[in-house]
Amino acid sequence: MGGDYAARRLAAIKEAAFEVLSEKGYKAASMLEIARRAKASNETLYKWFGNKQALFKALVEDNAREARELLEKALADGSDPIDALSRLGPVLLGIVTGEKAVALNRAAAGDVFETATLGGTIADYGRETILPLLTAVFERADNDGSLTVADPREAAETYVNLLIGDLQIRRVIGVSAPPTRKEAEARAARAVAHLQRIYRNA
């Protein structure tokens, strides 16, 4: 019972942190306001997280974990690599252009002149978490002959660039809406089509 209560309290704090971050921006997001929104004490937040940077670092880790688990699940069935990339594309786009990712990237930009810790955390838990999983897909594609891939890591980076392009940064600076499911699927299909031309079987 106590564990369930603590988990619910922690979830409420994290949800409140995202709300405050989205509404006020990183610099103005205070631990006191987050505690008030979560109906928790300020002392609880400092006891659990220590400071604002550590709280937002925990949010980055949570968002990255969600992305990793979604990707691992999509890859676990051992399906055709091209089909896997087509299915992964909309999922990945949804993660990197979603409201949570946008709020966290804006927070990282706001932290550059304070602690400069969030940007590194996003890199470590974001791209560096996803690229090894995508690299494994391209290794599978090369092994089964569906693509000719000399460098699977490079192919994974090419895929990410083709899929996301400048959309993530456009979301962060507020000039693009998140893609609809149909738009994400079309974008993913284009990325895979380009990949098949670049890495077509010799």
Q: With cut-offs at 50, 70 and 90, classify the pLDDT of residue 1.
A: very low
pLDDT in tens, 15-35: 999 999 888 888 888 999 999
Domains 1-50 and 53-198 share a fold: no
Q: Output the CATH code of domain 53-198.
A: 1.10.357.10
Task: Using the predicted structure, report yes or no on whether residue 86 has a pLDDT greater than 50.
Answer: yes
Q: Which of 21-35, 48-62, 71-85 has the lowest mean pLDDT?
A: 71-85
pLDDT in tens, 151-186: 999 999 999 999 999 999 999 999 999 999 999 999
Task: Using the predicted structure, report yes or no on whether residue 68 has a pLDDT greater than 70.
Answer: yes
Q: For residues 133-157, give the mean pLDDT.
A: 92
Ordered by start, the domain boundaries in the chain are 1-50, 53-198
> Residue 64: what pLDDT?
76
Task: Using the predicted structure, report yes or no on whether residue 150 has a pLDDT greater than 80.
Answer: yes
For 115, residues 6+ apart whose C-beta sits below 8 A from its C-beta are: 53
Rg value, the chain, Cα: 19
- Within 10 angstroms of residue 148's Cβ, the number of other Cβ atoms is 13
pLDDT in tens, 92-124: 888 889 888 888 888 888 777 777 777 887 877
CATH architecture of 1-50: Orthogonal Bundle (1.10)
Q: With cut-offs at 50, 70 and 90, classify the pLDDT of residue 2.
A: low
DSSP for 56-77?
Answer: HHHHHHHHHHHHHHHHHHHHTT
Q: Which of 69-73, 83-87, 100-104, 146-150 has the lowest mean pLDDT?
A: 69-73
Q: Are 93 and 163 in contact (CB under 8 A)?
A: yes
Q: What is the mean pLDDT of the chain?
A: 87
- Closest of 19, 171, 31, 182 to residue 101, by C-alpha: 171
What's the token pair of residue 161? Answer: 């660039």
Round to whole Å and give the CA distance between 49 and 152: 38
Q: What is the pTM of this model?
A: 0.78
Q: Are 65 and 57 in contact (CB under 8 A)?
A: no
